[in-house]
């Protein structure tokens, strides 16, 4: 199924007035189109990536090489979604003894996620021979990480995600009461 923008009218879930291009740490969750189990399987509490899942991992790492101000924290590719920490660093231009230089405008978080979705989708569709097929849901979840304890808690959550798969709300095999 192809995405039809005319039938999707969602309000933004972004924090109003917040500049998502500024330096900061962000926890993101991106879900596969229709929660399709596309990226691999959980085996004995561990994520086993298939070729599509390996592509997701490679293209996430590509962000750090493509954008010098991006640093990646902990991440995990799950069977039908992805969790990751992305840090937008201050570019550090200028200083007390240097000539003033205009700051480089960073791509905002949404632009970085969009770039990741685009390159991963193109590669996955090339692998499966399905040009133009949707891989990711339209939006993504983000949370601004405000301090080190929160960074530690979210990192542990991401790392333990495969072991919690039997109870994960993204797991389509869960029977909800």
Residue 14 is predicted with a pLDDT of: 47
Domain 19-92+104-161 CATH superfamily? Transposase IS200-like (3.30.70.1290)
Distance CA 157, CA 147 (A): 15
Residue 172 is predicted with a pLDDT of: 87
Which regions of 92-156 does DSSP assign to beta strands (E)?
141-145
Distance CA 136, CA 114 (A): 10
Question: pLDDT, tens digit, for every residue of 47-79?
Answer: 999 999 999 999 999 999 999 999 999 999 999
Distance CA 41, CA 48 (A): 5
Helix, strand and coil percent figures for the chain, each rounded to 5: 35, 20, 45
Q: Where are the domains of the chain?
A: 19-92+104-161
The CA angle 167-82-145, to the nearest 5 degrees, is 95
Residue of higher predicted confidence among 124 and 10? 124
Three-class DSSP category at 5: helix
Confidence bin at 176 (pLDDT 50/70/90): low
Helix count and strand count (H, E) for the chain? 3, 6
Question: pLDDT, tens digit, for every residue of 101-158?
Answer: 555 678 899 999 999 999 999 999 999 999 999 999 999 999 999 999 999 999 999 9
Distance CA 142, CA 83 (A): 10
Question: pLDDT, tens digit, for every residue of 11-42?
Answer: 444 455 555 556 789 999 999 999 999 999 99
């Amino acid at each position: 199924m192809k995405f039809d923008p005319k039938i999707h009218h969602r309000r933004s879930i972004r924090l109003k007035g917040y500049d998502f291009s500024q330096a900061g740490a962000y926890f993101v969750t991106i879900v596969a189109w229709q929660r399709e189990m596309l990226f691999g399987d959980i085996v004995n509490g561990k994520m086993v990536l298939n070729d599509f899942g390996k592509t997701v991992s490679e293209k996430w790492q590509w962000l750090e090489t493509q954008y010098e101000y991006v640093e990646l924290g902990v991440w995990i590719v799950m069977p039908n979604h992805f969790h990751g920490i992305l840090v937008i660093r201050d570019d550090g231009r200028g200083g007390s003894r240097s000539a003033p230089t205009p700051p480089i405008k960073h791509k905002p978080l949404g632009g970085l996620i969009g770039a990741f979705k685009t390159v991963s989708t193109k590669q996955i569709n090339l692998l499966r021979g399905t040009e133009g097929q949707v891989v990711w849901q339209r939006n993504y979840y983000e949370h601004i990480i405000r301090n080190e304890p929160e960074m530690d808690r979210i990192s542990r959550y991401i790392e333990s995600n495969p072991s919690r798969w039997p109870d994960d709300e993204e797991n389509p095999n869960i029977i909800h009461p």
